[in-house]
Amino acid sequence: MLTVETRHAIDPNTAKGLDTTELREHFHISGLFVEGEIRLTYTHYDRMIVGGAVPGSGELVLDHVAECGTASVLDRREMAVLNVGDTGTVAAGGESYSMNRGDVLYLGMGSGPVTFSGPGRFYILSAPAHATYPSRLVTIAEAASFRTGAPETANDRTIYQFVHPEVMESCQLVVGYTQFHGGSVWNTMPAHLHDRRMEAYLYFDLDPANRVFHFMGRPDETRHLVMQNEEAVVSPPWSIHCGAGTGSYTFCWAMAGDNVDYRDVEMVGMEELR
């Protein structure tokens, strides 16, 4: 079963006037992982698709998505798949990939239908592509990584880069995830902006009793969204994106836009936040 929801882009002045319910309707994505279903959110922010697939005891095939305007979803797109569940299998382009928890699979443009099977919980990200790059399974051992932050500022963390120029080539997708150490809970603080790229977060490995407070908005007009485990949020190019949890968690970050330069950001000083 395939379900697709469309999210239209809005400007920061409009976002200033939204209440909690309206903010969640525009930026918060829940219910991604339902057994026996593929659920996609098609956004008008750089045409990023955010979704989930849980095949359970059967197979799920992602092929025609009417919102893309092509016969098959990857005819003019690339895709990254993160497995946040048990070991499962993804097949595309005549190849089959066994994915352990934490692995990321890149599928190049023209890979054809995508088949999901096994007990995996597959997080799906897709953006338009202008060229075909080789499909590749990237394990956590193969990812680029670096440790940053400090316990004193509650942001001691390791950043893993999977679909990233230091690991492999893609058109515009840049995907990785961040894991925290020893009681640290703050992500992406100090905050930043990158007007040339949108971003999407998936919060996972979060205890059901805990929450992440995700901060968004212009630096002088901040808002927040309360996130549960395995929920996602869309971050427009004009918005900050950072958060703090009431317990440990991991978050997957994914970007699409004009370039794949991870460091192409405008830092926001703490004194600028309101």
Question: 180-206 burial by CB neighbour count: b if 16+ within 10 A, else e?
Answer: beeebbbbbbebebbeebbbbbbbbbb
- The response to whether 241 counts as a known ligand-binding position is yes
Q: Is the dihedral of CA 67, 72, 77, 83 positive or negative?
A: positive
Residue 148 bridge partners (DSSP): 157
- For 53, 58, 110, 156, the CA distances from 62, given in Å and listed in that order, are 9, 13, 13, 38
> Does the annotation place 130 within a ligand binding site?
no
Cα separation, 227 vs 233, whole angstroms = 8
Both tokens of 120, joined, read 């995996």
Instruction: State how far the Cα of 99 lies from the Cα of 102, in Å rounded to an integer.
Output: 8
Number of Cα atoms under 13 Å in the Cβ half of residue 250: 15
Name, in order, each residue with C-beta under 8 angstroms of 57's C-beta and a sequence gap of 6 or more. Answer: none
Please tell me whether residue 24 adopts helix, strand or coil conformation. Answer: helix
Q: How far apart are CA 68 and CA 47, in angstroms?
A: 9
192 is in an annotated binding site: yes
Known binding-site residue numbers: 192, 194, 199, 241
Known binding-site residue numbers for Zn(2+): 192, 194, 199, 241
